Chain A
Amino acid sequence: MRWLWIDCIVEHEVEKRLVAIKNVSLAEDVLHDHVIDGKPIMPFSLMIEGMAQTAGILVGSTTRFKEKVILAKIAKASLDCDVTASDTVRYDATIERIDDAGASTSGTIDRRVAGGEAWERIGRIELLFSHIDNNLAGTEFPAHNFVFSDNFKMILETAGLADLAD
């Protein structure tokens, strides 16, 4: 079972932009292990992973998930406030540049508190992905695509985007 840090895809502009939602819940053990001043806080590292999964699906979709897309570098990451249980997080990822070797993406993180309607911009993340079969170092990897598993396909199916992986 792969740890997924997004719940669903809510917007997709082909080869350009993908938006995903994460509902933060006290049912997640990790929040109980990350309590600051008595408040369970979503670790920023896992929010970076959430953005990496959002942007990674976007980058992978450009080749119909035939390429192995690996997070290679966190170029920039900033977060202005904490996220806690009952908050909803929105990851909005855009491809800045893509070629055979890899892709760079920029993204924003928004938060909506329980009962609220407004989204608040709370962070920005820039990532670099490698198409590892074309990596600049020339390192070889296994032939099968171990990146985009059935769990990722489930997310695509629930968003009505299953045809992206055909």
Chain B
Amino acid sequence: MSRDDIFEKIQEVLDDALGVDEDEVTPNASLTADLGAESIDFLDIIFRLEKTFDFKISQGELFPENLSENPDWISDGNLSDAGLAMLKERMTHVDFTSIEDGDRNISKIGDLITVNSLVDFVEIKLTG
């Protein structure tokens, strides 16, 4: 499946899950900041991606989960160096460049998940 095909299917997934128009689903659009996704929408998106692309997604594989439960990862509400290293290793589909030297508040981490992140994630899953 080509990257363009994946992108088109993800547009449909986000259209169904978030009620957004397909033209709003641009490659750099953030799921939370631009498309208004909330935490429960992430579960909806995971289920729809699994159905659309016929693969299974483990908890924490696509979106970061329960970060605050580990004090080594979160300190004073901010992602620690260890937390960032863990996320970079576990979530290769996400570009963490913007927070490496900037705002690492836990509330901003969700903003890093873009439409492009989803396309990368699906591409990695499909190619094994």
Number of residue pairs spanning A and B whose beta carbons lie under 8 angstroms apart = 43
- Chain A residue at smallest Cβ distance from B57: A99
Selected interface stretch from B4-12, B60-68, B89-97, B120-128: B60-68
Evaluate whether A136 and B44 lie within 8 angstroms (CB atoms) in the complex, with A75-B16, A96-B51, A97-B50 already known.
no
Selected interface stretch from A35-43, A100-108, A150-158: A100-108
The reply to whether the CB of A64 lies closer than 8 angstroms to some CB of chain B is no
The smallest C-beta distance from B13 to any residue of chain A, in angstroms, reads: 12
The reply to whether the CB of B42 lies closer than 8 angstroms to some CB of chain A is yes
Interface size for A (C-beta < 8 A) is 18
Assembled-state Cα–Cα distance A61/B50 (Å): 23
Assembled-state Cα–Cα distance A21/B89 (Å): 50
Contacts of B42 in A (CB 8 A): 136
The reply to whether the CB of A149 lies closer than 8 angstroms to some CB of chain B is no
A interface: dominant SS: strand
Evaluate whether A138 and B40 lie within 8 angstroms (CB atoms) in the complex, with A75-B17, A97-B50, A101-B59 already known.
no
Assembled-state Cα–Cα distance A99/B47 (Å): 10
B: interface residue count bin = 10 to 19
The smallest C-beta distance from B121 to any residue of chain A, in angstroms, reads: 16
Contacts of B63 in A (CB 8 A): 136
The reply to whether the CB of B69 lies closer than 8 angstroms to some CB of chain A is yes
The reply to whether the CB of B86 lies closer than 8 angstroms to some CB of chain A is no
Is the CB–CB distance between B43 and A72 below 8 Å? yes
Residue interface mask A110-143, B partner, CB < 8 A = 1: 0000000000000000001010001111100000
Is the CB–CB distance between B47 and A104 below 8 Å? yes
Assembled-state Cα–Cα distance A101/B40 (Å): 10
Contacts of A136 in B (CB 8 A): 39-40, 42-43, 63, 65
- Chain A residue at smallest Cβ distance from B39: A137
Residue interface mask A69-83, B partner, CB < 8 A = 1: 000110110000000
Task: Given contacts A97-B47, A101-B43, list 11 more A-B pairs with CB under 8 A.
Answer: A73-B40, A73-B41, A75-B16, A75-B44, A76-B16, A100-B59, A104-B47, A128-B44, A136-B65, A137-B39, A138-B65
